[in-house]
Amino acid sequence: MKAYAQPIKKLISELGKLPGIGEKTAARLANYILRSTEDDVKKLAESIIEVKRKIKLCRICLNLTEEDACHICRDTTRDKEVICVVEDPDALAAIEESGGFRGTYHVLHGALAPLDGIGPDNLRLGELIQRINEGSVKEVIIATNTNVQGETTALLLTRMLKEKNIKLTRIAMGMPMGGDLKYIDKMTISKSLEFRRGM
């Protein structure tokens, strides 16, 4: 980075703070920004500022929204008796894009990771319990990731909610559509067999 002028170094440093962006990628992005028109750069800067100013958490499910309640929570055709618990807004978006779920959501904004200092108090669990205690929820689908943190979070949720008078389910894990068994990892095959269903 010694070869760059100070403003470019600063831009690379700031871009490098983004997740998944290393120094080389940050330098490529900085150079792209330098080659862009001033109008395009202004639009980029304005969109970043607008997101920070306008986006907040839905008061019901904690999804990202401009309104008090997100478009999903305001949708009267949704099944309010079913809550799908996800780790983050990206997971919610992925489920929504599949088009197969018509219930509501609850976004935890993280998963248990004690080594990273993320415990139960860092997740939005209190709001979920409050929604369940209001009495209209009949099923909670735990849709956390299938990694160590997601599984630990699912276990915590199971322990917290087992005394509640609700159906508690976990998303199925297993073979992807179009997957070839010889290329699938052992854990996925194991889970596919464990969660097999009748035909």
Among 49, 92, 47, residue whose Cα is nearest residue 71? 92
Residue ranges per domain, the chain? 6-54, 77-181+186-192
What angle is formed at CA 99 by the lines to CA 48 and CA 61, rounded to 5 degrees?
55
| Residues 6-54, CATH architecture | Orthogonal Bundle (1.10)
**Bridge partners (DSSP) listed for residue 85:** 106, 142
C-alpha–C-alpha distance, residues 99 and 188, integer Å:
24
Has residue 181 got a pLDDT over 70? yes
Give yes or no for residue 142 having a pLDDT over 70: yes
pLDDT digits (tens, 9 = 90+) for 106-121: 999 999 998 888 999 9
77-181+186-192 — its CATH code? Answer: 3.40.1360.10
> What is the C-alpha separation between 23 and 9, in angstroms, rounded?
10
CB 63 within 8 A of CB 92: yes
62-88 pLDDT, tens digit per residue, is 999 999 999 999 999 999 999 999 999
Phi/psi at 114 (nearest 5 deg)? -55, -35
- Dig out the tokens for 13 from the structure: 């440093």
Q: Where are the beta strands (DSSP E) in 102-178?
A: 103-107, 139-142, 167-170
Topology alike, domains 6-54 and 77-181+186-192 = no
Element of type H or E holding 54: helix 38-54
What pLDDT is recorded for position 199? 67
pTM listed for this prediction? 0.81
